[in-house]
Structure 1
Amino acid sequence: MGLTSRSLEYATVLAALVCVGLTVWVWPRLARRGPMAVLGRLGVIGATQLTILTAFAVAVNTNFEFYGSWDELIGHVDKAPAEVTALGRSGVYSTVGAVRGGLVQPAGPQGLDRVKGIPHGPAAQVGRVESVKIVGRRSKAVNPAFVYLPPQYFQKQFHRQRFPVMVAISGYPGGIMNLAQYLQVPQTADRLLRAGKIQPTVIVMVRPTIAPPRDTECVDVPGGPRAETFFTKDLPEALKRSYRVGHDPSAWGALGYSSGGTCALQLTLRHPGVYTSAAALSADYRIGDDLTTGSLFGSGPGAAQRQREHDLIWRLEHLPVPRVSVLAASSRSGEKDYGDTVKFLHAVRPPMTSAQIILPRGSHHFTTWQREIAPAMRWMSGQLTFPQDTVSSRHHRPITQAANRPHP
């Protein structure tokens, strides 16, 4: 029974209800004097509270994906790249674009089987959403991901083309299920592509933290998790090795909501040689320490400067402006980031360009972000180059076909 499975969630809820019922039933028998009766009452109360807390914890983890598996929960996780020698049967969730270097590995559904509206059918007609794990060669992180491949990726006339990439980042706490189920990133991409409103694009859906439940905010923590390294080095390297995606920064963009939007802006402004566009829904424009992050910038004389360099408005006012494009989305009423969004947009100057989505009212919730995700994806698609380059003739075969064979 998987840690994020609905069956485990239902089982723990049922166990909690049974314990509550048994407590009500046996309580009159325990309402006596004496040490045994007192111990019985304490035991019944403890067991009931334990099952209720367990059910609550499992429900929260199932929806926010702090831990994806039992091994991850107890700390038994992969720490280094692993070679994949065989993939077994191909399937809608188990195949992967390529396995060279083992940096993108097939995973179980990771909840993808519970998402409604995911395209099903021949890949050349409807595309495919793959459930994988991305291994960070430098950061040593192993992060779950969904990868949306458009129908054109599998069509013969595109078999030598490299596709642009959108890296979609969820908020915190949260996980890739939120991107697929609530923000509906792959469903929106499929709809926009069929309507001719975006170009064929590979979309990789990831969470912002690489060390759950800690909120790493896409920062390289001194002596700690290297989240910025994962997103700017490991993730691009893994995707370029495993899928036919563009190798030039002009083909790469990052988008996200809440903390994911903050990450998208941070990654693009700090690493314009990796990402050249960012779309941020309800983002923050500076990063600070709190109970979920711990100390992100370390101590000593360099800590204040490291934190200042993650203040995006300060960067635009004091550092050279990169040649990138950004989109910021907020609401005049209902979003606490509106004032900073205006300041950020006013601080943008050439060669950087900006766009905005400002709703009259909204909230820090998926009901607002669902209104913004389609225009944000249309805007980003217009920033990315396609077709960017071609695959050499000896590698022109769609690499998803190679994924179903054992790798030596």
Structure 2
Amino acid sequence: MGLTSNTVLVLAIASAVALFVGTVWLWPRLARRGWRAVSGRVGLLFATQLALFAALGLGANQSFGFYASWADLFGQEDEQGVVIDHTANRGSGGPLQVTDVRRVKETGSGRPQRGGQIQKVDIVGRTTHIATSAFVYLPPEYFQPQYRTRTFPAAVVLTGYPGTAQALVDKLHYPSTALELAKDGRMQPMILVMLRPTVAPPRDTECVDIPNGPQTESFFAKDLPDAVLAHYRVGKKPGSWGVIGDSTGGYCALKLAMHHAEVYAAGAGLSPYYKAPIDPTTGDLFQGNEELRNRADLWWYLKHEPAPDTSLLVSSSKVGESNYKDTLEFIERVKATDRTRISSIILESGGHNFNTWRREIPATLQWISGRLSDR
């Protein structure tokens, strides 16, 4: 029986209820002194608490989809995602300051020419005045003399909500994965700009230009690329920039690539959704502006706006992700357009969690690397 099976949940609840009733029924018999009675009381209390926690955990997992299987729960699910290109036959100094520097791998070489470098930076948007911190991964080639005049492609990498930029480095291992893939010749050297989409915490702005509020979409479409271009050797043409994200960041990545194809040549959404939610964390994102609400709905955008000249990647899993059916439908709708290209990673199982995204990130980095140029 699978982790997300209703049968498992019912059995866990039934076990918790049975142990509770049994504890109440047997407690008088175990009220005597002696090691056997004491051991019996301890055992019943421990078993009841364990059953209650198991039932609560299974119920929460059913509701939120953290883990898709027992192997996923115990970290044993390690099958890598594979990109399927659904449109293969259709052609193909100022605002940024570095505040800290670290190695990509603490056990690796301290020389950036061999192991690359991660820089912590503070960014202030010139037009939106949004201020946020980020981590920038620079590949070893960036520091090597023979590449001193070369520019590099860049990918903006976004967390989910609320998320932390640190998790992209320490939990999802974007820099070390990019380093190893480039060493193996499976992707070109790239700059990664890693941050969270929550640039006005604690509010979840969903990468929307909120009327009379944070202009989040403009920050990612204009201010962030301008700040990075002013400080690093990044290609200036649209084909040099991509964007990746998971969950909320995945929705943002798809939207930014679709709305701003002149900036982002490719957008990859890992476990994305396709319409901005309205809930207590977001507040009123649109202030009654129907045009803004429609643009934030990727379903509406595909139907009513000209197809953008960009490449998209979406991911889901057959068991464990709530967006599976929506993702299949999104793929079909994009395939029906005449300019937008679509690829996917569909796992057999995998919940909405770091372990699942770690399985998809290598293929995602290879995919986006193949769609960006360094000029």
2:283 to 294, 301, 312: 294
| Aligned residue pairs, count | 281
Q: How many angstroms apart in 2 are the aligned matches of 1:116 and 1:183? A: 13
Cα 1:368–1:230 shift into 2, 3 Å: same
Query: Which residue, 363, 378, 398 being the options, matches 2:351?
Result: 363
Measure, in 2, the Cα distance between the counterparts of 1:223 and 1:260. 23
User: Is 1:153 aligned to 2:139, yes or no?
Assistant: no
Structure 1: gaps of 5 or more residues: 1-99, 389-408
TM-score, structure 1 length as denominator? 0.67
Partner residue, 1:340: 326
CA gap 1:198/1:118 in 2 versus in 1, 3 angstroms: farther
Counterpart check, 1:205 vs 2:180: no
Structure number with greater CO (CA < 8 Å, separation at least 6) is: 2
Could you tell me whether the CA contact under 8 Å between 1:135 and 1:141 is conserved in 2?
A: yes
Q: Which residue of 2 aligns with 1:3?
A: none
Residue of structure 2 in register with 1:306 after alignment: 292
Q: Could you tell me how far 1:127 is from its partner in structure 2? A: 1.1
Deviations 1:143-165, CA, capped at 9 Å, x for gaps: 11000001111111111111000
Query: Residues 181-225 of structure 1: CA distance to partner in whole angstroms, max 9, x if unpaired?
Result: 111111111111111111011111011011101111111100001
Partner of 2:363: 375
Q: Distance in 2 between matches of 1:118 and 1:332?
A: 37
Q: Which amino acid aligns with 1:169?
A: L
Q: Deviations over 1:97-141 (max 9, x none)?
A: xxx2x21112247xx79x965854111111111011111111111
Task: Give the TM-score normalised by structure 2.
Answer: 0.73
User: Are residues 1:107 and 2:99 paired?
Assistant: yes
Structure 1 runs, 4 residues or longer, greater than 3 Å off = 115-120
Moved more, 133-142 or 364-373: 133-142
Q: Is the 8 A contact 2:313 2:344 kept in 1?
A: yes
Unaligned residue ranges in structure 2 (runs of 5+):
1-92
Q: What does the per-residue CA deviation read over 1:329-373, in whole Å, with 9 as the maximum and x for residues that have no partner?
A: 101111011111111111112211111000111100001000000
SS across alignment from 2:161: coil
Taking only the aligned residue pairs, the percentage that are identical comes to 44
The alignment partner of 1:148 has SS state of strand
Structure 2 vs 1, CA of residues 282 and 193 (structure 1 numbering), >3 Å: closer, same or farther? same
Equivalent position of 1:179 in the other structure = 168
**Structure 1: distance between partners of 2:302 and 2:321:** 23
The change in CA–CA distance for 1:118 and 1:190 in structure 2 (over 3 A counts) is: farther
Determine the C-alpha separation between the residues in 1 that align with 2:271 and 2:207. Answer: 16
Which position in structure 2 is the counterpart of 1:73?
Answer: none
Equivalent position SS for 2:342: strand
Residues 117/371 of structure 1: CA separation in 2 closer, same or farther (3 Å cut)? farther
Aligned residues: CA RMSD: 1.5
C-alpha change, 1:119 and 1:150, in structure 2 (3 Å) is: farther
